[in-house]
Amino acid sequence: MTPSTRLRYVPRPAAQASGPDPAALLAAVAGGDQDAFAPLYEVIAPPVQGVALRTLRSPSHAEEVTQEVLLEVWRSAAAYRPDRGTVLAWVLTIAHRRAVDRVRSTQAAGDREVRVALRERTAGESVADRTEQLLDAQQVRRALAQLSRAQREALVLAYYGGYSQREIAQSLGLPLGTVKTRMRDGLRRLRAALDDRKPVGTAAPTARTA
């Protein structure tokens, strides 16, 4: 598969306990191995699509953002640094940033389709409400950057990817108790960082425990 190939999202299980190693595949892509991108796509496309769809609430825009993210992964594969977290956490961070950028650009351009989708997302939700949420997302990203690598990757998978703690444990190959500890400590530090930046009463993100 090459960057010019039209990428299509095919639903897959959210997390796998075994399978291709995304880090090895990404390293191969970074080295110019075009064949390595196809199995890498199979691993990262479903969660990327999920992040885009949850943020945009528009299937057509979510698909476009998914294409942009996967092309960015192709082009910037060499920029990935393992010490900053897993490949999936890195990719989901890119996906969330791209999705938020798309919301901003379509709002600024008066895109009717996205405005309708955002209005229907929650009854009575205003553009001002959505703008506040986008600002909150920026603050969350800055706060996440202050966490340890282990805490950050667990919370990124939960907050951006929508994974449960059990799914995160399977994805990272860790005991469930270890993941719970990392998330508990990470959320404590995240809330502290957000309390320094956000108005009183603004809630920090939560994660599914099932």
Question: How many other C-beta atoms can be found within 10 angstroms of the C-beta atom of residue 94?
Answer: 19
Q: What is the pLDDT of residue 41?
A: 94
Q: Give the pLDDT band (50/70/90) at residue 131.
A: very low
Highest mean pLDDT among 27-36, 94-103, 114-123, 200-209: 27-36
Four-CA torsion 116, 121, 168, 44, nearest 10 degrees? -10
**Quick one: 174 exposed, middle or buried, by C-beta within 10 A (0-12, 13-18, 19+)?**
middle
What spatial distance separates the first Cα and last Cα of the chain, rounded to whole Å? 36
List domains and CATH numbers for the chain: 22-195 (1.10.1740.10)
Residue 205, both tokens: 């993100």
Q: Token match 């390595």: residue?
A: 36
Q: What is the pLDDT of residue 206?
A: 54
Could you tell me the pTM of the whole model? 0.59
The pLDDT tens digits of the residues spanning 109-123 come to: 543 443 444 455 444
Q: Give the pLDDT band (50/70/90) at residue 172.
A: confident
The pLDDT tens digits of the residues spanning 81-98 come to: 988 889 999 999 999 989
Residue 49 has pLDDT above 70, yes or no: yes
Mean of the pLDDT values across residues 191-208?
Answer: 58
